[in-house]
Amino acid sequence: MSLQIFLDRLDQLQSDAQNAFDGAAGIDALEDARVTFLGAKNGQFKDVQKMLGGIDSADKRTAGMRLNEVKKAINDAFETAQAQLDSGGDSQIEPGFDPSLPGHQPQLGHIHPITQTIDHLTEIMGRMGFEVAEGPEVEDPFHNFVALNIPEDHPARDPLDNFYLATAGKSADTGEGDALLRSQTSTVQIRVMQSRQPPIRIISLGRVYRPDAPDATHFPMFHQMEGLYVDTNVTMANLKTVLRVFANNYLGDDVEIRFRPSFFPFTEPSVEVDFLWNGSWIEFGGAGMIDPNVFAAVGYDPEKVSGFAFGLGVERLCMRRHGITDIRDLYSGDLRFLQQF
């Protein structure tokens, strides 16, 4: 066989193999092409290799060198095609899939509007020097009632007005009475005063529970922001200033608020704090000067210290700021509502 025919045959083989490997649509097709060209028994390369025996001995060296070059080129072409398929190369893409289109964005959640409100209130009160204190949601009657000057026969202790946990047993702190879900954050006032000495300037934000029927402004679980300021010579003027500055910061300079005489067993005098909304007054919290009996319950001398406390409804504040007209929207879990915040 002439050298030229042999070399032509090799060129043809190399280009056929390259085209077959490049055009293989998947791993199986590539394997078929490999067997066709590189198969140890009947592969096309093997066939051409056998022809080397028919080349004149003077041309054998040239023919052998070229044979080795082509073998290496075909092997390289196979490996390149294989690597491309392994890495999910173009040839594996499903028909109809357009890789230039933007991908699916993973859906990221965001902070619930009530948590956003808590963060905002904490920030405003922090600027006035109030630090955050925490207390448990499962309370004992001492912290929820007794120390707050709410006697045994007070209607606020009625089982129909509270979530008592009858099976939870006696309070861990006092060994007395059935535990309950706290009905107000005022419990934290007691816990802080029991563990610290004045001056005290804290807020406490958290969940409270009452068996209230849900309506546009009530929910059985809601949040309160408790405030407590104890020092010497604290007056009602300090209380009014703090609440007014707070309301202006959170609801805007144009907000109208008013203080209405009221009664809480743990403050004397007591007030309700209202803001004007759509032409009517809405109560957003209670407040007052700490009752001397409360100071006595935590071991403070009522002759030496004075202070004020307030408890504001977090949902009502959030609703007023964002124009939310139904508290139930906050807890329905409806993303069409929540995504607006």
- In the bound state with ligand FA5, the residue whose beta carbon lies nearer, of 43 and 311, is 311
Measured from the CB of residue 221, what is the shortest distance to ligand FA5 in angstroms? Answer: 8
Stretch that binds ligand FA5, among 22-30, 35-43, 53-61, 285-293 (CB under 6 A): 285-293
Binding residue for ligand FA5, selected from 21, 78, 209, 284, defined by CB under 6 A: 284
Which residue, judged by CB position, is nearest to ligand FA5 in the bound state? 313
The one-letter amino acid code at 95 reads P
113 binds ligand FA5 (CB under 6 A): no
Residue 209 touches ligand FA5, criterion: CB under 6 A = no
Give the binding-site size for ligand FA5 (rule: CB under 6 A): 24
Q: Minimum distance between the CB of residue 283 and ligand FA5, rounded to whole angstroms?
A: 4
- Written as one string, the DSSP assignment of 74-133 is HHHHHHHHHHHHHTT-GGGSPTT--TTS--PPPPP----HHHHHHHHHHHHHHHTTPEE-
Nearest approach, Cβ of residue 93 and ligand FA5 (Å): 55
Q: How many CB atoms lie within 10 A of CB 295?
A: 20
Amino acid residing at 183: S
Contacting ligand FA5 within 310-329 (CB under 6 A): 310-311, 313, 315-316, 327
Write the CA distances from 122 to 117, 175, 322, integer angstroms: 8, 34, 18
> Taking CB under 6 A as the rule, does residue 206 contact ligand FA5?
no
Per CB under 6 A, does 145 bind ligand FA5? no
Report CA-CA distances (Å) from 262 to 274, 276, 286, 288. Answer: 12, 18, 8, 9
In the set 210, 240, 244, 321, which binds ligand FA5 (CB under 6 A)?
210
In the three-class reduction of DSSP (H, G, I as helix; E, B as strand; rest coil), residue 275 is classed as: strand
- Number of other CB atoms surrounding residue 115 within 10 Å: 15
Sign for the CA dihedral angle at 294, 155, 261, 227 comes to positive
The residue (of 43 and 285) whose beta carbon lies closer to ligand FA5 is 285
Q: What is the x/- site pattern for ligand FA5, positions 175-194, by CB under 6 A? A: ---------x-x--------
Residue identified by tokens 């068996």 is 211
The one among 74, 77, 243, 287 contacting ligand FA5 by CB under 6 A: 287
Cα(218)–Cα(222) distance, integer angstroms: 8
Residue selected from 10, 294, 309, 324 as contacting ligand FA5 according to rule CB under 6 A: 309
The residue behind tokens 């394997």 is 31
What one-character-per-residue DSSP string does 132-195 give? E----SEE-HHHHTGGGT--TT-GGG-GGGSEE-GGG-B-TTTS-SB-EE-S-THHHHHHHHHH
C-beta of 81 vs 297, nearer to ligand FA5? 297
Which of 66, 210 has the CB closer to ligand FA5? 210
Residues that bind ligand FA5 (CB under 6 A): 184, 186, 210, 212, 218-219, 222, 224, 264, 267, 270, 283-288, 309-311, 313, 315-316, 327
